[in-house]
């Protein structure tokens, strides 16, 4: 008699193949293939190791990157105005030197935002479990890997043992069919999904994105989707690997050999959801019906199409309460019923681990060529890595940004969060390609509207939130 086949989702396959042992009914001990560290969430973990007299168990399975607190104006540490931030960077240097961990430091040509630099170096491959003290580690799910953010105590545990106590999640499928229309991007797709599911609707789930609409996307677009999926509460986001995945991995500095990539189905061909596997929850999305989206409130699920209006509190249909909608409207200083395209801005920001890759910069530069940033708008673009910066300069994208009136910066997290010297002044309003629009996220009392890089470029040109599809060619 043949063994009974148990159909599994891709997520179940990923965590089960890395399970060292079952701890109890709800938890397993999970082996971590790769651990990414930054200067902001690792200091206490290293201090904990020293206090307990422990070493890093497998240093070569860890990588540290400076990205959160550094300036994007100047790479010289001695020029940083924030003494505490400078000390965090120095402490990371000391820790990596003492514990034997590779560091992409400020002047390293490989440095950048961790979730941009790691994939472009070829360090992510299907089947891996990757953790980092940063919530947007879900980005690596675009490769058919299991990536998730961890807290400081878990950072210490991962350093000491290359493992974590882990509670398996439920399964959530988002089936995307059809293709995105012209002028609509993966950012719009995932913002639409977040609006449907709600800010906590996927809490306790691993979300698998699948369907013809996902298969048609580039790897950079898939990374955008997995990056932002956690904004609906998802602890993990996954897309099954395919030929697009393998083609992206080719010729990356640390990718597997061509022999392995050429025979990838033998290595990673089982990394897909079985046809008869069951999900705890599923939704379907028609990509062809999606328009460009922007946020109106202070949560990523408070979204409307760019053709829409600021909603009345009673019209909010996701898990945001009436009181939350009222608070968001007051903070954002918006009047319900106002056409969203009448909302003016004074800042525009392109960057973050969500939208600062070369394809993102190309899409924004295409909108900007032959045009100028509106009077009274300060516009900044921050490449996701030094590699992206060099490529953009080689292609002339940086010239297009600067000619239009954008500031061209070094790589880093920058204005995604008010943790460095790129901070919005109180009361300002920013069109931003970032992933969060929480109160104070980009600066105290600052107001953030999330959108795609091309939409940010359009808003910068017009000085207000604008449907990029109405601009026509810039040629």
Q: What is the DSSP string of 31-57?
A: E-SEEEEETTTSHHHHHHHHHHT---S
Helices (H), 125-253: 152-161, 186-197, 212-215, 219-228, 243-249
Does the pLDDT at position 225 exceed 90? Answer: yes
In which band, very low, low, confident or very high, does the pLDDT at 3 lie, cut at 50, 70 and 90?
A: low
Alpha-helical runs (H) found in 258-371: 258-262, 264-268, 322-332, 358-368
Q: Give the model's confidence band at 75: pLDDT under 50 very low, under 70 low, under 90 confident, else very high.
A: confident
CB atoms within 10 A of CB 250: 12
Tokens of 110: 């490989």
Distances (CA, A) of 442 to 105, 150, 197, 417, 433: 24, 22, 25, 5, 12
| pLDDT, tens digit (0-9, with 9 covering 90-100), for 133-192 | 999 999 999 999 999 999 999 999 999 999 999 999 999 999 999 999 999 999 999 999
pLDDT at 116: 98
Domains of the chain: 18-166 (3.30.499.10), 170-242+259-289 (3.40.1060.10), 293-470 (3.30.499.10)
Given a contact cutoff of 8 angstroms between Cβ atoms, the answer to whether 219 and 185 are in contact is no
What does the alpha-carbon distance between residue 119 and residue 250 come to, in Å, rounded to a whole number? 11
HSE-CB of 241 using CA atoms within 13 angstroms: 25
The rounded distance, in Å, linking the Cα atoms of 368 and 362 is 10
Is the pLDDT reported for residue 291 higher than 60?
Answer: yes
Q: How far apart are CA 13 and CA 34, in angstroms?
A: 18
**For residue 344, how many other CB atoms are within 10 A of its CB?**
13
Question: What is the per-residue pLDDT for 5?
Answer: 78
* pTM, entire model: 0.96
Cα diameter, the chain: 76
Structure confidence by residue, pLDDT tens digits, 56-65: 999 999 999 9
Mean pLDDT over the full length of the chain: 95
CA 429/CA 419 separation, integer angstroms:
18
Q: What is the bridge-based pairing of β-strands 293-295 and 303-305?
A: antiparallel
Q: What is the structure's pLDDT at 317?
A: 67
pLDDT digits (tens, 9 = 90+) for 92-126: 999 999 999 999 999 999 999 999 999 999 999 99
Neighbours of 356 (CB within 10 A): 30
Check pLDDT > 50 for residue 475.
Answer: no
Q: Residue 370 above 90 pLDDT?
A: yes
The 10s digit of each residue's pLDDT in 382-434 is 999 999 999 999 999 999 999 999 999 999 999 999 999 999 999 999 999 99
Statement: residue 327 has pLDDT above 70: yes
**Listed range (70-84, 126-140, 291-305, 340-354) with the worst mean pLDDT:** 70-84
Judge whether 373 and 379 are in contact, CB under 8 Å. Answer: yes
CA distance 374 to 376: 6
Task: Tell me how crowded residue 207 is: count the other CB atoms within 10 A of its CB.
Answer: 31
pLDDT of residue 1: 41
Confidence of residue 318 (pLDDT cuts 50, 70, 90): low
Question: What is the b/e burial string over 414-433, where b = at least 16 CB atoms within 10 angstroms of the residue's CB?
Answer: bbbbebbbbbbeeebbbbbb
pLDDT of 320 > 90? The answer is: no
Q: Give the pLDDT confidence score for residue 396 in this predicted structure.
A: 98
């Amino acid at each position: 008699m043949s063994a009974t086949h148990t159909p599994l989702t891709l997520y179940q396959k990923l965590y089960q193949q890395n399970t060292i042992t079952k701890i109890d009914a709800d938890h397993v001990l999970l082996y971590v293939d790769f651990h990414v560290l930054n200067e902001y969430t690792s200091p206490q973990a290293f201090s904990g190791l020293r206090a307990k007299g422990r070493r890093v168990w497998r240093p070569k399975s860890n990588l540290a990157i400076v990205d959160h607190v550094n300036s994007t104006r100047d790479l010289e540490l001695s020029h940083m105005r924030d003494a505490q931030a400078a000390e965090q960077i120095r402490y990371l240097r000391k820790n990596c030197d003492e514990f034997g961990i590779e560091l992409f430091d400020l002047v390293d040509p490989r440095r950048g935002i961790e979730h941009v630099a790691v994939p472009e170096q070829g360090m992510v491959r299907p089947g891996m479990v990757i953790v980092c003290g940063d919530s947007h580690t879900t980005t690596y799910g675009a490769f058919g890997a299991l990536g998730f953010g961890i807290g400081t105590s878990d950072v210490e545990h991962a350093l000491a043992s290359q493992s974590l106590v882990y509670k398996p999640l439920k399964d959530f499928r988002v089936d995307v069919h059809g293709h995105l229309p012209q002028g609509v991007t993966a950012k719009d797709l995932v913002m639409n999904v977040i609006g449907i599911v709600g800010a906590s609707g996927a809490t306790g789930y691993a979300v698998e994105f699948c369907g013809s609409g996902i298969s048609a996307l580039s790897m950079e677009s898939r990374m955008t989707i997995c990056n932002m999926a956690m904004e609906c509460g998802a602890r993990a986001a996954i897309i099954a690997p395919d030929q697009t995945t393998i083609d992206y991995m080719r010729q990356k500095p640390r990718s597997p050999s061509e022999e392995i990539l050429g025979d990838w189905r033998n290595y990673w061909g089982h990394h897909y959801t079985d046809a008869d596997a069951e999900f705890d929850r599923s939704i379907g999305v028609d990509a062809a019906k999606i328009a460009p989206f922007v946020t109106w409130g202070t949560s990523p699920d408070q979204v409307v199409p760019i053709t829409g209006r600021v909603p009345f509190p009673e019209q909010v249909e996701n898990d945001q309460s009436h009181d939350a909608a009222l608070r968001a409207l007051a903070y954002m200083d918006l009047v319900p019923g106002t056409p969203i395209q009448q909302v003016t801005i004074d800042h525009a920001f392109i960057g973050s681990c969500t939208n600062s890759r070369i394809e993102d910069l190309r899409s924004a530069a295409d909108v900007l060529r032959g045009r100028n940033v509106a009077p009274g708008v300060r516009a900044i673009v921050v490449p996701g890595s030094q590699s992206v910066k060099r490529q953009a300069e080689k292609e002339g994208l940086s010239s297009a940004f600067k000619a239009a009136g954008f500031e061209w910066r070094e790589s880093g997290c920058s204005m995604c969060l008010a943790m460095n010297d790129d901070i919005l002044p109180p009361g300002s309003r920013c069109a931003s390609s970032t992933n969060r629009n929480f109160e104070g996220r980009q600066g105290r009392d600052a107001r953030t509207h999330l959108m795609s890089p091309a939409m940010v470029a359009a808003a910068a040109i017009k000085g207000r939130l604008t449907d990029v599809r109405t601009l026509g060619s810039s040629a």
